[in-house]
Amino acid sequence: MKLETVHSPEIDDASTREATGKTFTQWFAALDAAGGVAKGRRELTSIVHAQIPKESWWATTIVVEYERARGQKEKDGKPTGYSICSTKTIAAPPEAVFAAFGDAVLMDRWLGPKTRVDFRDGGTIENGDGDSATIVRIRPGKDLRLAWNGHLAPRSTVEVLFADKGQGRTGITLNHTRIQSRRESDRVREGWAVALDSLKKLLEKG
């Protein structure tokens, strides 16, 4: 996955105050007073977003870092972390779009060079950019689930959903979850955006 130069701020009290008007310490105290992690991520994010409506990614950042600071973890012992979502509509039928995720020759042209694919449940995807994943589940034309272990966001999860939009068009929704730092999230978000743009151009060019 090609990564462009992405500006990602240092995540500390100073940058948080500059972006949101409060330090992490102040936000964390407010979330404690609102009920803490027992409220759940969605409600906590809504509380923060209501105060900084133009800064939705910072609202997410504050809640993710709050969960980390309060020791909130999943069953695997890691914090839930950050999630990014990339979407794209491509003027190509679902079977063609789905096939582009399992064809090494095509993937060289949109995801990264020197791709190697063993496209089956339990198989792997690797390329020369350092992207690496184990295929957890394949449902042809519907979805694809990957245990991601690339040079960025190792031990995270990627799920790709394919939707038939009619008239030879396919909608892709790509969710990349369990990313453990804001900086990695910013870079992964940009990387997937570039990759899906490249996929769209490739398939629509025919």
> The domain spanning residue 94 has which CATH number?
3.30.530.20
DSSP state of 54: T
Tens of pLDDT along 42-99? 999 999 999 999 999 999 999 999 999 999 999 999 999 999 999 999 999 999 999 9
Instruction: Classify residue 134 as exposed, middle or buried by CB count within 10 Å of its CB (0-12, 13-18, 19+).
Output: middle
Q: Report DSSP letters for 157-178, one per residue.
A: EEEEEEEEEETTEEEEEEEEEE
118 and 186, same domain (yes or no): yes
55 and 105 fall within a common domain: no
Domain boundary among the residues 69, 91, 116 is at 69
The parent domain of residue 33 ranges over 13-69
Residues 33 and 90 in one domain: no
R_g over Cα of the chain: 19
pLDDT tens string 158-183: 999 999 999 999 999 999 999 999 99
Model pTM score: 0.92
Q: How many domains does the chain have?
A: 2
Which pair of structure tokens corresponds to residue 44?
Answer: 């906590």
